């Protein structure tokens, strides 16, 4: 008898120990409401669980991953100060009803048990069937036990966001890139609110498209300050702040903080799923001042034109583009259970000499949420010749940290025509008003215009007439009409140029001018560098003034 009693006690102890090992408590504040709540801290409160749940049309969901088959027991720790509330609990096609216990203290109640036949992600759906009082139920935790729960996974953290996932595009340390081109497509039903699909990331900033609400979408371009301040830009020294140089029409620009600090810009634009958008970031370095001017350009397919979003000058830099990457981000946890998906294709980098190199390699990574193992639903790879990223949705991972992917080359290098830009008509009006104002204020004088280029003969020449095909030797000085900043000039020696290789304003303003003439050209931005960032001293959309003295010319037949 003693031996039998010992065996029974041993079995009971082992059984209880096994049950305890397989008991898992999911904090109720880690769930999701469908439809989502308006206030992220109203329903799901850290340390308190699910609170203030009062809408019978609002379903509460919890997700977890089971690695083992077997029995799954489901219990809830819940309460209601009133008696009479009724809920249903659904999992794996099974539905249970549970009367919410009345009281001021949480009580653990058995919901039911099911048999798990396959490993994978599972969802518990809790619905309110009857409400008594102000709330349906307050829930502290979901208690899962049984053989199926051994080594199960669930998110224990209060942060409900899906893990951010990245693709990094490796480039050689000796490759100096001045432009990064990428194409992004968001598939149907993947345009989830609180999503940022970042296409053109680089060491000092990021450029992508965002879903801010059901009614607003944005194109966002931001550049980080120098230094280490992570929260408040008011604490950043002026010498460390990036400066806004220019922005497109309708673009909003200000500061950002709390994730590093810097200059932010966004343009409200109703981008669509299933449409491929082209995006370009350029970098203009100035080693003397150790600055780099970064500009973001967005191609509008419906107009077949580029739009300048913004240009920022970054201090303590002076380096070309580097650390290129793309990412998917779920930036608010209200709907972190939904899957986000993006395709990235036809990546290219432009060297300083103007040639393009195709970027066909990428490497997969994720943020701290992924590295900590809080969320394991993410992936990336190649599909249809493009890279893709996804995060959220509580589906099995399809990539792991450090995975490398190589897409097939397209050999379709970008063709960028800055002259075809969305805001050109508006900018032409702005330029014209600036020129007329300068004339009225006697800042400049003019004798007329040649195809939109205003000119003034400062000294009449007597030699041959200039033609477009000529190579010219000139003395010149160029400055901005806006503030008189001199951006380029000859000094002791003249310069020699092929006229056809110069900006449109020179090509339109100099032909039919006599050799020996000294002429002043006032060139609207559309006939100069348009939306391009040409140098540290020439911001996008700048009206330029040149004083040119024609020294000699060589005809095309003489070259």
**pLDDT tens-place string over residues 342-384:** 999 999 999 999 999 999 999 999 999 999 999 999 999 999 9
Q: Check if 22-149 and 165-406 are the same fold.
A: yes
Residue 41: predicted pLDDT: 74
Q: Which two tokens stand for residue 263?
A: 């200059």
Q: Which CATH class is domain 165-406?
A: mainly beta
pLDDT at 14 (0 to 100):
40
**pLDDT score of 11:** 41
HSE-CB for 455 with a 13 A CA cutoff? 21
Residue 240 has which token pair? 């460390």
Q: What does the pLDDT read at residue 173?
A: 81
Confidence of residue 559 (pLDDT cuts 50, 70, 90): low
452, pLDDT greater than 90: yes
Sign, Cα dihedral of 322, 323, 328, 331: negative
Quick: pLDDT tens for 218-261.
Answer: 999 999 999 999 999 999 999 999 999 999 999 999 999 998 99
Band of residue 8 on the pLDDT scale cut at 50, 70, 90: very low
pLDDT at 536: 83
Across 475-489, average pLDDT: 96
Over residues 500-536, the pLDDT tens digits come to 999 999 999 999 999 999 999 999 999 999 999 888 8
pLDDT of residue 343: 98
CATH class belonging to 22-149: mainly beta
Instruction: Look over the chain and give the mean of its residue pLDDT values, rounded to a whole number.
Output: 94
pLDDT of residue 6: 43
Domain spans of the chain, in order of start: 22-149, 165-406, 424-558
Instruction: Read off the DSSP letter of residue 435.
Output: H
Q: Which residue has the tokens 């100035």?
A: 286
Burial of 234 (0-12, 13-18, 19+ CB in 10 A): exposed
DSSP state letters, 55-87: -TT-EEEEEEEE-S-EEEEEEEEEEBSSS--EE
What's the number of CA atoms in the CB half-sphere (13 Å) around residue 10?
6
CATH number for the domain formed by residue range(s) 424-558:
3.10.50.40
DSSP string, 74-121: EEEEEEBSSS--EEEEEETTEEEEEEPPBSSS-EEEEEEEEEE-S-EE
């Amino acid at each position: 008898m003693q031996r039998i009693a010992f065996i029974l006690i041993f079995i009971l102890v082992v059984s209880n120990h096994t049950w305890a090992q397989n008991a898992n408590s999911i904090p109720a504040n880690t769930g999701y409401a469908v439809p989502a709540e308006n206030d992220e801290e109203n329903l799901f409160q850290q340390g308190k669980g699910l609170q203030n749940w009062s809408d019978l049309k609002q379903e509460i969901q919890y997700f977890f991953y089971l690695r083992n088959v077997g029995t799954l027991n489901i219990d809830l720790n819940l309460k209601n100060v009133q008696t009479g509330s009724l809920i249903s609990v659904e999992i794996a096609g099974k539905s249970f009803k549970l009367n919410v216990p009345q009281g001021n203290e949480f009580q653990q109640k058995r919901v039911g048990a099911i048999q798990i036949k396959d490993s994978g992600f599972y969802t518990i759906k809790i619905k309110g069937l009857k409400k008594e009082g102000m709330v349906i139920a307050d829930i502290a935790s979901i208690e899962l036990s049984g053989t199926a729960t051994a080594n199960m996974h669930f998110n224990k953290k209060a942060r409900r966001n899906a893990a951010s996932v990245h693709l990094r595009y490796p480039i050689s340390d000796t490759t100096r890139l001045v432009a990064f081109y990428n194409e992004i497509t968001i598939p149907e039903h993947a345009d989830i609110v609180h999503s940022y699909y970042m296409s053109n990331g680089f060491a000092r900033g990021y450029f992508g498209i965002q879903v801010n609400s059901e009614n607003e979408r944005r194109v966002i371009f931001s550049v980080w300050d120098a230094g280490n301040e992570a929260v408040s830009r008011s604490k950043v020294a002026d010498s460390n702040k990036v400066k806004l140089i220019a922005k497109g029409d309708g673009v909003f620009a200000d500061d950002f903080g709390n994730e590093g600090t810097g200059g932010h810009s966004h343009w409200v634009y109703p981008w669509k799923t299933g449409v491929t958008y082209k995006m370009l970031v350029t970098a203009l370095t100035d080693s003397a001042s150790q600055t780099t001017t970064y500009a973001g350009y967005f191609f509008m397919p419906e107009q077949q034109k580029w739009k300048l979003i913004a240009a920022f000058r970054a201090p303590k830099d002076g380096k070309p583009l580097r650390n290129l990457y793309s990412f998917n981000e779920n930036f608010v946890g209200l709907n972190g259970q939904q899957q986000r998906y993006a395709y990235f294709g036809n990546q290219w980098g432009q060297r300083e000499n103007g040639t393009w190199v195709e970027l066909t390699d990428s490497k997969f990574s994720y943020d701290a949420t992924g590295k900590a193992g809080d969320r394991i639903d993410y992936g990336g790879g190649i599909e249809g010749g493009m890279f893709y990223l996804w995060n959220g949705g509580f589906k099995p991972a399809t990539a792991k940290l450090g995975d490398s992917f190589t897409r097939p080359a397209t050999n379709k290098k970008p063709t960028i025509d800055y002259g075809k830009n969305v805001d050109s008509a508006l900018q032409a009006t702005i330029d014209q008003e600036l020129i007329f104002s300068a004339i009225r204020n006697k800042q400049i004088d003019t004798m007329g215009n040649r195809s939109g280029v205003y000119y003034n003969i400062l000294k009449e020449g007597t030699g041959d007439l200039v033609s477009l095909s000529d190579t010219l030797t000139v003395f010149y000085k160029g400055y901005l009409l806006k503030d008189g900043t001199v951006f380029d000039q000859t000094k002791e020696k003249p310069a020699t140029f092929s006229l056809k290789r110069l900006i449109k304003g020179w090509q339109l303003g100099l032909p039919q001018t006599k050799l020996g003439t000294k002429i002043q050209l006032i060139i609207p931005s559309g006939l100069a560098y348009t939306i391009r960032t040409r140098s540290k001293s020439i911001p996008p959309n700048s009206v330029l003034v040149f004083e040119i003295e024609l020294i000699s010319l060589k005809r095309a037949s003489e070259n």
